[in-house]
Structure 1
Amino acid sequence: MTQSLQLAQLGNPILRQLARPIDNVHEEPIQRLIQALKAKAVAANGVGIAAPQVSQSCRLFIVASRPNPRYPNAPTMEPTAMINPQLVAHSDEMVKDWEGCLSIPGIRGLVPRYQAIEVEYTNQQGKPQRQQFTDFVARIVQHEYDHLNGIVFLDRVESTQNLIKEQDYQQRIGNKHSSQG
């Protein structure tokens, strides 16, 4: 299935739809999709990927933070599947940082996000989880959560002046050794 996963690009209607809840995480197609999404995130140098990005309307995303060419300073964590997630709490503090998206290649935007969040979700084994995230990983979770609600990072950019080409972004982080991607 991994070979057949094609990334939906901006303009594909599925990226603007509310994804459907998953009833049974143990179903074989869901488990296969989780594995395929994990592999796709790694292959595409992403730090997260949501099911709608591969044209699957279900409330599932992977958070897979690790250093790679797109995010050289990302913290390393085990790839985590979040099924039917709910954002249950967040900090008052908002932080702006650069984001990109596998479904919107070639562009980065300066996006305000909550610095800390708390999320309830079901894990790949079907067990309920409640977890807090901060900084870069909180940013990934919020970005992927948006995908489940038909929102892309461009919707959160406050001004078109906060958009740059991926190439210019890579030059910036190469020169500044930014702590986040």
Structure 2
Amino acid sequence: MITMDDIVREGNPILEEVAKEVALPATEQDSATLHEMLEFLKNSQDQEIAEKYQLRPGVGIAAPQIGLSKRMIAIHFEDFDGNFYSDGLFNPRIVSHSVEKTFLSSGEGCLSVDREIQGYVPRYARITVKAINLAGEPIKLRLRGYAAVVLQHEIDHLNGLMFYDYINENNPFLKPDNAKPCDVD
């Protein structure tokens, strides 16, 4: 079982590396690791389990965050429209994106960052992602709003980027050009 003790924190060089492609079909070990990553997210959102094991709630996790330089992410969340996403993805990549941007008005957080970092993180408002899911099937996800933000955050981990790399240093709450918040009606 993955716990917070297994989560790599900011400053660790693996979080700044571009992760390696996963050879497909995935090995039993890679599949088992991705299942564990998804299980961590489910556990982190279960109040009883989270309290017992002192887990911070997460909606996504990338393999570099548990010390593995592999292009694997797990997601487990419901977007603001009630759509539910729960899967593990091998070699996810953004194949197209909108010109329009979005951001979370409350900012973003990260399991690998133990401090609060305030500011707007500009993201594409809509993206299309291709990947191989946990069942070994090729999938194509068309995402917008919060779901697009979550996937971009996790895919950034595979490219050695942290969410705060996008925050305007001089004016953290400067509204990004051509953007509107995805979490406010």
Structure 1 partner of 2:95:
88
Give a deviation string over 1:72-121, Cα, whole Å, max 9, x none: x6955141212101111001101122111110123144200000000111
Residue 148 to residue 60, structure 1, CA distance change in 2 (3 Å): same
**Contact map agreement 2:41 2:60 (CA 8 A) in 1:** yes
Listed as ranges, the gaps of 5+ residues in structure 1 are: 68-72, 164-177
* Unmatched runs of 5 consecutive residues or more in structure 2: 45-55, 174-181
How many correspondences in the alignment? 161
Tell me, yes or no, if structure 1 residue 65 matches structure 2 residue 74.
no
2:32 maps to amino acid: R
* Compared CA separation, residues 146 and 4, structure 1 to 2 (3 A): closer
**How far is 1:54 from its partner?**
0.5
After TM superposition, which residue ranges in structure 1, 4 or more long, deviate above 4 angstroms? Answer: 73-76
Taking structure 2 as the reference length, what is the TM-score of the superposition?
A: 0.78
Change (3 A) 1:46 1:20: same
DSSP-derived class of the 1:34 partner: helix
Q: 1:104 aligns with which of 109, 113, 137?
A: 113
Amino acid at match of 2:10: L
Residue 136 of structure 1 is aligned with which of 122, 127, 146? 146
Percent identity at matched positions?
31
CA deviation string 1:104-147 (max 9, x = no partner): 12314420000000011111121111110000010000000000
- Residue of structure 1 equivalent to 2:24: 24
Query: In the alignment, residue 162 of structure 1 is paired with which amino acid?
Result: P
Secondary structure at 2:149's aligned position in 1?
Answer: helix
